Amino acid sequence: MIILGIETSCDETSVAIVENGRQIHSCVIASQIKAHRRHGGVVPELASRMHTEDLPAVLQRAFQDANMGWDDIEGIAVTHRPGLESSLLIGVTAAKTLAHARGLPLYGIHHLHGHIVSPTLSHDLPFPHLALVVSGGHTQIWHVRSFQDMSVVAQTRDDAVGEAFDKVARLLGLGYPGGPRVEAAARDATAPIAFTVPLRHDPTSFSFSGLKTAVMVEVGGYTGAQSGATNILKPVLSPERIANICQGFQNAVVQHLLDKIGYAIAQVSPKALTITGGVAANRFIVAQLTDALQTGKFGHAALREPALQAIFKKILPMPVYSPDLVFCTDNAAMIAATAYYMSAETVIDTYAELKVLPTGC
């Protein structure tokens, strides 16, 4: 089955054509990073306007790259939740119009389910497995019994991990987007700052707000002046100091993620872990999590209790999968693939009933 996917949940405009959930005939992504960089983050009104401008050309390019036409398409899938409401509306309106005009089935897809499915674009996944979804808007662990049967076992109370990276980068004057800039700066660390790992007593909750505040204290508060329209703070810190803060922050993030992953593994005994979302592009974090699941070294004293160690001994080492880099960030290939696997989300020929739901992650 050949499905055309549309993704406009935040600041990437993407269209893809995918066959049987695996064979990617095309995947075109128009990024808005340059437009939002001067504002230090995503501006919803600007994002929706750029989706409107970019979507026709992205759609045309997807057909050209696939060497296909509308007669080849058997269904249309679109992200309708969660995300920025104004951005979601652009994609959903386009998908409804195209599906109605062509008489095609319409699939409404949960954005996070798309991320959970995304590793299948590159790997064969065993079930059940855990899916760690880490992005600018979400930090969750899902128990994936099948792509039709999954549930959240841990999630953030406040900031998402990707949002925390952006805020830390802004505090340090590194610019936007923060994730790749913090990771790059951290490579020069010589004596990483030891930040306190948050919420070690709670096995099902992440919290990155306090960690962000700890970085602010280490920086010395808002010590720099505003930098014109860029709104980026410029604290007076040496490159070495910035590197040590960045690496310390990354170390705390890794340990925080591992705490919850360890508890989740003990609870559900999965066969694998997947790491998806934009933060899965951070090679340091993926490498550290992978190493821990091979060695069983989680760090948290509570996870070294004999009963939990006995569980870990039976199921570790555990394989870890993440999408190819191009599929870590928002893309339409994962949306088209999800429509193939998750028929329960299908909305067929009921265009008026497919609603935009910006929340509900």
Alpha-carbon distances, residue 224 vs 219, 230, 278, 358 (angstroms): 10, 13, 29, 35
Within a domain: residue 196? yes
275 in a domain, yes or no? yes
For the entire predicted model, the pTM comes to 0.89
The confidence score (pLDDT) of residue 351 equals 45
Domain match, 72 and 156 both: no
276 plus 163 within the same structural domain:
yes
- What pLDDT digit, counting tens, does each position of 196-226 carry? 999 999 999 999 999 999 999 999 854 444 4
Q: Which two tokens stand for residue 338?
A: 């999800």
Closest by Cα among 168, 150, 151 to 159: 168
Cα separation of 71 and 65, whole Å?
Answer: 16
Query: Domain limits at 336?
Result: 2-118+326-353
CA 226, chain centre distance (Å)? 30
Same domain, 198 and 249: yes
Q: Give the total number of structural domains in the chain.
A: 2
Using CA atoms, how far apart are residues 241 and 104, in angstroms rounded to an integer? Answer: 56
Residues 307 and 172 reside in one and the same domain: yes
Q: Using omega within 30 degrees of 0 as the cis cutoff, is the peptide bond preceding 317 cis? A: yes
310 within a domain of the structure (yes/no): yes
Mean pLDDT of the chain: 90
Check pLDDT > 80 for residue 195: yes
CATH number at residue 302: 3.30.420.40
DSSP state of 286: H
Beta bridge partners of 108: 78
Task: Report the C-alpha gap between 314 and 82 in whole angstroms.
Answer: 37
Token pair in block for residue 171: 């505090």
Residue 361 resides in a domain = no
Together in a domain, 290 and 211: yes
Confidence of residue 343 (pLDDT cuts 50, 70, 90): low
Q: Which of 234, 254, 105, 256 is nearest to 173 (CA)?
A: 234
Continuous segment of H or E residues that includes residue 339: helix 332-341
Instruction: Clarify whether residues 154 and 78 are in a common domain.
Output: no
Same-domain status, 198 and 100: no
Fill in the DSSP letter of residue 116: H
Confidence band, pLDDT 50/70/90 cuts, at residue 348: very low
Residues 299 and 335 in one domain: no
